[in-house]
Amino acid sequence: MQILMTKAAHGRVAERLAKVAPDAQVVTAVDKDAYELDGRSIAAEDIDPEVVWLSLDSYASGTLGQLFGRLMKTDAPRWTQIMAAGIDNPMFRSIMEKGVRISKSSAQATPIAEYVVAHALSLQVPIAEAAALQARREWKSTPYHEVARTRWLMAGFGNIGHEIAKRIKPFGVHLTVVRRSPAAEGDLVDKVITLKEIGSALPDADVVVLALALNDETRGMCDEHFFRAMKPGAVLINIGRGGLVDEDALKAGLDRDQPGHAVLDVFQTEPLPADAWFWDHPKVRVTAHTSNSGDGNLDRGDNLFLENLRRYLAKEPLLNEADRSEVGLT
């Protein structure tokens, strides 16, 4: 079996890889569409990878395009481990149309969960209020509504939703999650509802987190109706996709304090244009689709690939395998 990955990725995992798949032939991609096998150059047309690993470093180093090209040109690939968590980019549909299995990444769930909890807490515990008092040299108490007494509504309960729940539940919050099937979720969750029922949960939610994939069912779901149902002063955090939100309706909602704050990492148009209204709105925090930018992604991505390779070889279910319906295929 041939596995294709970047030279840098192989450098990091070679030893562990040899234990998981001792018989694998590892082809490595270097810059300028050059490949190596066992330390020697090999022509692109001579390689025939069954597994292609689109590791995080391939995104940064510019080899992603050539790995993707191999994925599309050869007939052999049966499985690819990707670094993305969302697969609304059309390239993933092309891959699945070829019959290649895709396992998505959960590596970014950790920093995204940190982002969500850090932003929510910093809006609940009076940090900005204390800073304003400090600037005035004023020694004054800052009573506040405890995080422990807040109710959270989380739309989407995949890897990211789970990582958020793990971190926020120990604060004692009440957590309602929205997911396709209203299955029980044990101690992490107080209530599970479906997307159709979200309107009934919005009036009580102090913090609303959008951690959903973008698809025909979710596109534009945060519309005027949605914002009018929100609790005044509540916090909206979007780390899903910009397309979930009707941005004009959000602006009108903020004027009514529904929501009272919006923490937005994703937008309908990215990069956000310099003249967009979000930038200087006093109730909006803009971040540049960068909630995932923690320094632990590379390690977690390596670990995930190795575990999924073990599962692939053992014919066990892969972690985070994408369903064809996620890219609009039947």
Q: Alpha-carbon distance 220 to 319, whole Å?
A: 29
Q: Is 141 in the site for a copy of itself (CB under 8 A)?
A: yes
Comparison of 159 and 218: residue with beta carbon closer to a copy of itself = 159
**Which burial class, exposed, middle or buried, applies to 158 when counting CB atoms under 10 A from its CB (0-12, 13-18, 19+)?**
middle
Q: Torsion angle of alpha carbons 281, 116, 90, 270, nearest 10°?
A: 20
Comparison of 23 and 138: residue with beta carbon closer to a copy of itself = 138
Closest CA to 308 of 70, 31, 106: 106
Please pick, from the candidates 147, 201, 235, 318, the single residue that binds a copy of itself as defined by CB under 8 A. 147
Distance of CA 246 to the CA centre of its chain: 20
Contacts (CB under 8 A) with a copy of itself, residues 158-197? 166-167, 170-172
Tokens of 202: 């919005």
Q: Cβ of residue 55: shortest distance to a copy of itself, in angstroms?
A: 17
Q: Is 145 in the site for a copy of itself (CB under 8 A)?
A: yes
Please pick, from the candidates 41, 144, 203, 328, the single residue that binds a copy of itself as defined by CB under 8 A. 144
**Which burial class, exposed, middle or buried, applies to 253 when counting CB atoms under 10 A from its CB (0-12, 13-18, 19+)?**
buried
Please pick, from the candidates 119, 151, 179, 261, the single residue that binds a copy of itself as defined by CB under 8 A. 119
Comparison of 137 and 315: residue with beta carbon closer to a copy of itself = 137
Sheet strand arrangement including 151-155: 191-193, 174-178, 151-155, 207-210, 235-238, 261-264, 284-286
Contacts (CB under 8 A) with a copy of itself, residues 269-308? 270-272, 274, 279-280, 285-288, 290, 293-296
How many residues sit in the footprint of a copy of itself (CB under 8 A)? 50
Contact 266, 292 (CB under 8 A): no
Comparison of 276 and 313: residue with beta carbon closer to a copy of itself = 276
Stretch in the footprint of a copy of itself (CB under 8 A) among 24-32, 88-96, 138-146, 216-224: 138-146
Q: Cβ of residue 172: shortest distance to a copy of itself, in angstroms?
A: 7
Tokens of 302: 């390596």
Residue 70 is inside which H or E element, if any?
helix 64-73
Contacts (CB under 8 A) with a copy of itself, residues 98-117? 110-111, 114-115, 117
Closest CA to 190 of 157, 212, 213: 157
Q: Cβ of residue 228: shortest distance to a copy of itself, in angstroms?
A: 27
Contact 170, 116 (CB under 8 A): no
Comparison of 125 and 192: residue with beta carbon closer to a copy of itself = 125
Stretch in the footprint of a copy of itself (CB under 8 A) among 74-82, 147-155, 202-210, 252-260: 147-155
Work out the end-to-end distance of the chain between its first and last CA atoms, rounded to an integer number of angstroms: 29
Tokens of 263: 């923490």
Measured CA to CA in angstroms, residue 201 lies from 105, 150, 163 at distances of 30, 13, 21
Stretch in the footprint of a copy of itself (CB under 8 A) among 23-31, 136-144, 213-221, 243-251: 136-144
Q: Cβ of residue 104: shortest distance to a copy of itself, in angstroms?
A: 20
Please pick, from the candidates 32, 39, 43, 143, the single residue that binds a copy of itself as defined by CB under 8 A. 143
Q: Cβ of residue 124: shortest distance to a copy of itself, in angstroms?
A: 7
Q: Which residues bind a copy of itself (CB under 8 A)?
A: 110-111, 114-115, 117-119, 121-122, 124-125, 127, 130-131, 133-135, 137-149, 166-167, 170-172, 270-272, 274, 279-280, 285-288, 290, 293-296
